[in-house]
């Protein structure tokens, strides 16, 4: 018979489960794919501590790990990001924030006098990493679409030409999914004759979806385009139920960061010491289950749904906009009666819907039905004109994206 304690624990778990199920249908504002079933891995949660302590490429003394899967996942992502054969290394992080911290730590070791340039649209984890590492930095303006303002970037670098340049390029900003083209960054640095440079690509959300496109038809962001390191999240496009990420760097860059892990029997090359073996297993599983073709299909379907969502909003006369290739649709923040029901990320009068794999057309139609109730009863196009006066510039001036 179950004890009172058991019953109390079960009641808490049941309540949690109900709450999580109840928010699913209206959770369309955050970039977590929900179309992958990780149930086959549940057997590994019963009694094994899976700890990928130390370097993924050296098994080390602790026997319960998933480093073989970790290496396979890092290699998969390194191939996708066109990392140089024979000069690549990486590991599974706790998320993109740790990937940014690792990359900046690496860059600081290579260029101790470097200045970090990053756009005002960068994720707050970049500010945090700069703070922790005490690195000098310059926040560059972003344009109306969320992209780095390259004129401002050039002017800032020009003022500091005696210092090495470290750039954090956004490959899909958090709010608008804008991309800072890494090829353009290099052209600017070439034009200023800056030799000592390091470019990190924060590709948390968009790295894998963009990598599946023809490189000629998408912005530059990977190693072949000039990145020195790339981070992609595991819990965003790959939908892992535990937050994590894959950071990939040029192996030749990180020789100076290797410490011995002592009793662990594995070099201490990562930011944290103990690392989740479950996260590595989940990323590996998602990559294997989909393969390149499956991942590409998911990305294409997500873009199609984003185009559909954008179109629906435009037809309603609701201010909306989207960056090319993105899953993200930016819209004027709806009134509280809508935002209290729908989980949209909102700031400065703008919100976004992210059409991640797992978000359905039915959900979008349900959202639109709620929005129609509060939309002004004015002809299509007229409202758009009227609300523009009070809108944040990004919605007013950005060019509508192609599908
Ligand atoms: C562009 C970008 N970088 C970094 C992060 C931080 O990722 P994490 O929460 O996995 O640490 C996010 C999170 O949304 C992001 O959008």
Which DSSP symbol is given to 273? S
pLDDT given for residue 184 in this prediction: 98
CA 227 to ligand 1 center in whole angstroms: 18
Q: Give the atom of ligand 1 at the shortest distance from the alpha carbon of 95.
A: 10
Q: Give residue-wise pLDDT tens across range 212-226.
A: 999 999 999 999 999
Q: Is 243 in the pocket of ligand 1 (CB under 6 A)?
A: yes
Q: Please list the residues that pair with 197 across neighbouring strands.
A: 165
- pLDDT tops 70 at residue 142: yes
Describe the strand order of the beta sheet including 345-347 as a list of residue ranges.
320-321, 328-332, 350-354, 345-347
**Among 164, 110, 126, 120, which residue's Cα sits nearest to residue 146?**
120
Q: What is the Cα–Cα distance from 91 to 38, expressed in whole angstroms?
A: 21
Q: What is the Cα–Cα distance from 403 to 396, expressed in whole angstroms?
A: 19
- Least confident segment among 52-61, 69-78, 90-99, 257-266: 257-266
When pLDDT is cut at 50, 70 and 90, the band that residue 77 belongs to is very high
**Judging by DSSP bridges, how do beta strands 165-170 and 115-119 pair with one another?**
parallel
Contact 350, 36 (CB under 8 A): no
| pLDDT > 90 in the chain, percent | 87
Tokens representing 134? 């005490």
Q: Which positions ≥6 away from 252 have C-beta within 8 Å?
A: 87
Looking from the CA of 98 toward its CB, the CA atoms found within 13 Å total 19
Q: Is 203 in the pocket of ligand 1 (CB under 6 A)?
A: no
Dihedrals phi, psi of 213, to nearest 5 degrees: -95, 165
Q: What is the Cα–Cα distance from 386 to 317, expressed in whole angstroms?
A: 10
Which ranges of 30-181 would DSSP assign to H, the alpha helix?
67-80, 96-110, 124-133, 150-158
Q: Is 96 in the pocket of ligand 1 (CB under 6 A)?
A: yes
Contact 54, 268 (CB under 8 A): yes
DSSP 10-27: HHHHHHHHHHHHHHGGGB
Q: What is the Cα–Cα distance from 195 to 189, expressed in whole angstroms?
A: 8
- pLDDT tops 60 at residue 392: no
Which DSSP symbol is given to 138? E
CA 138 to ligand 1 center in whole angstroms: 20
Ordered by where they begin, the domains of the chain are 22-29+292-397 (3.90.1150.10), 44-290 (3.40.640.10)
CA 77 to ligand 1 center in whole angstroms: 17
- pLDDT tops 60 at residue 403: no
Q: Is 123 in the pocket of ligand 1 (CB under 6 A)?
A: yes
Tokens 């608008």, located at residue: 176
Q: What is the Cα–Cα distance from 391 to 203, expressed in whole angstroms?
A: 28
Report CA-CA distances (Å) from 105 to 16, 221, 228, 231, 333. 38, 20, 13, 14, 37
pLDDT given for residue 1 in this prediction: 75
pLDDT given for residue 399 in this prediction: 38
CA 96 to ligand 1 center in whole angstroms: 5
- pLDDT tops 80 at residue 344: yes
Q: Give residue-wise pLDDT tens across range 302-332.
A: 999 999 999 999 999 999 999 989 999 999 9
When pLDDT is cut at 50, 70 and 90, the band that residue 397 belongs to is very low
Tokens 């700069």, located at residue: 130
Indicate the average pLDDT of the chain.
92
Q: Give the atom of ligand 1 at the shortest distance from the alpha carbon of 100.
A: 4
Q: Is 152 in the pocket of ligand 1 (CB under 6 A)?
A: no
Mean pLDDT, residues 3-29 taken together:
94
pLDDT given for residue 391 in this prediction: 32
Q: Is 245 in the pocket of ligand 1 (CB under 6 A)?
A: yes
Q: Is 363 in the pocket of ligand 1 (CB under 6 A)?
A: no
Q: Give residue-wise pLDDT tens across range 161-195.
A: 999 999 999 999 999 999 999 999 999 999 999 99
Describe the strand order of the beta sheet including 229-233 as a list of residue ranges.
89-93, 245-249, 229-233, 197-202, 165-170, 115-119, 137-140
Query: Ligand 1, from 29, 96, 221: best to mutate by most atoms within 8 Å of Cβ?
Result: 96
- pLDDT tops 60 at residue 200: yes
- pLDDT tops 70 at residue 389: no
Q: Give residue-wise pLDDT tens across range 117-130.
A: 999 999 999 999 99
CA 97 to ligand 1 center in whole angstroms: 6
When pLDDT is cut at 50, 70 and 90, the band that residue 29 belongs to is very high
Mean pLDDT, residues 86-101 taken together:
98
Query: Ligand 1, from 32, 95, 142, 207: best to mutate by most atoms within 8 Å of Cβ?
Result: 95
**Among 70, 58, 32, which residue's Cα sits nearest to residue 246?**
70
Question: What's 160-212 look like in SS3?
Answer: CCCCCEEEEEEECCCCCCCECCHHHHHHHHHHCCCCCEEEEEECCCCHHHHHC
Q: Is 99 in the pocket of ligand 1 (CB under 6 A)?
A: no
Q: Give residue-wise pLDDT tens across range 262-291.
A: 888 999 999 999 999 999 999 999 999 999
Q: Is 182 in the pocket of ligand 1 (CB under 6 A)?
A: no
When pLDDT is cut at 50, 70 and 90, the band that residue 377 belongs to is low
Q: Is 95 in the pocket of ligand 1 (CB under 6 A)?
A: yes
- Least confident segment among 60-74, 200-214, 253-267: 253-267
Tokens 């990598």, located at residue: 211
When pLDDT is cut at 50, 70 and 90, the band that residue 383 belongs to is very low
Mean pLDDT, residues 30-46 taken together:
95
Contact 284, 238 (CB under 8 A): no
CA 209 to ligand 1 center in whole angstroms: 16
When pLDDT is cut at 50, 70 and 90, the band that residue 336 belongs to is very high
Q: Is 207 in the pocket of ligand 1 (CB under 6 A)?
A: no
pLDDT given for residue 259 in this prediction: 79
Contact 145, 324 (CB under 8 A): no
CA 204 to ligand 1 center in whole angstroms: 6
Which DSSP symbol is given to 263? G
Q: Give the atom of ligand 1 at the shortest distance from the alpha carbon of 170.
A: 1
Q: Count H helices, E strands: the chain?
A: 12, 11
Contact 171, 325 (CB under 8 A): no
């Amino acid at each position: 018979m179950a004890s009172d304690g058991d019953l109390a624990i079960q009641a808490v778990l049941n309540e949690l489960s109900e709450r999580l199920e109840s928010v699913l249908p209206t959770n369309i504002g955050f970039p977590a794919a929900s179309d992958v079933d990780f149930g086959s891995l549940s057997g590994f949660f019963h009694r094994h501590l899976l700890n990928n302590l130390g370097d993924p490429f050296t098994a080390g003394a602790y026997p319960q790990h998933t480093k073989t899967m970790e290496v396979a996942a890092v290699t998969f992502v390194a191939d996708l990001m066109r990392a140089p054969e024979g000069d690549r290394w990486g590991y599974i992080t706790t998320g993109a924030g740790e990937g940014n911290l690792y990359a900046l730590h690496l860059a600081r070791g290579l260029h101790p006098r470097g200045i970090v340039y990053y756009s005002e649209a960068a994720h707050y984890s970049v500010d945090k990493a700069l703070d922790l590492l005490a690195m000098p930095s310059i926040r560059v303006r972003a344009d109306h679409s969320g992209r780095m303002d390259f004129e401002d970037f050039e002017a800032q670098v020009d003022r500091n030409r005696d210092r090495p340049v470290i750039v954090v390029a956004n490959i899909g900003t958090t709010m608008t999914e804008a991309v800072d083209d890494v090829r353009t960054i290099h052209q600017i640095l070439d034009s200023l004759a800056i030799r000592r440079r390091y470019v990190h690509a924060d590709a948390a959300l968009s790295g894998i979806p963009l990598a599946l496109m023809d490189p000629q038809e998408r912005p530059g962001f990977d190693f072949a385009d000039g990145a020195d390191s790339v981070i992609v999240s595991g819990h965003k496009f790959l939908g892992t139920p535990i937050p994590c990420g894959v950071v990939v760097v040029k192996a030749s860059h990180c020789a100076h960061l290797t410490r011995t892990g002592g009793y662990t029997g594995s070099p201490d090359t990562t930011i944290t010491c103990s690392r989740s073996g479950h996260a590595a297993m989940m990323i590996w599983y998602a990559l294997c289950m989909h393969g390149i073709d499956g991942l590409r299909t998911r990305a294409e379907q997500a873009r199609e749904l984003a185009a559909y969502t954008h179109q629906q909003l435009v037809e309603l006369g609701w201010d909306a906009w989207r960056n090319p290739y993105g899953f993200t649709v930016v819209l004027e923040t709806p009134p509280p009666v809508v935002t209290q029901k729908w989980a949209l990320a909102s700031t400065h009068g703008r919100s976004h819907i992210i059409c991640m794999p797992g978000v359905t057309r039915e959900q979008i139609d349900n959202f639109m039905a709620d929005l129609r109730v509060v939309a002004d009863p004015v002809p299509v196009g007229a409202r758009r004109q009227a609300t523009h006066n009070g809108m944040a510039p990004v919605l007013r001036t950005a060019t509508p994206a192609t599908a």
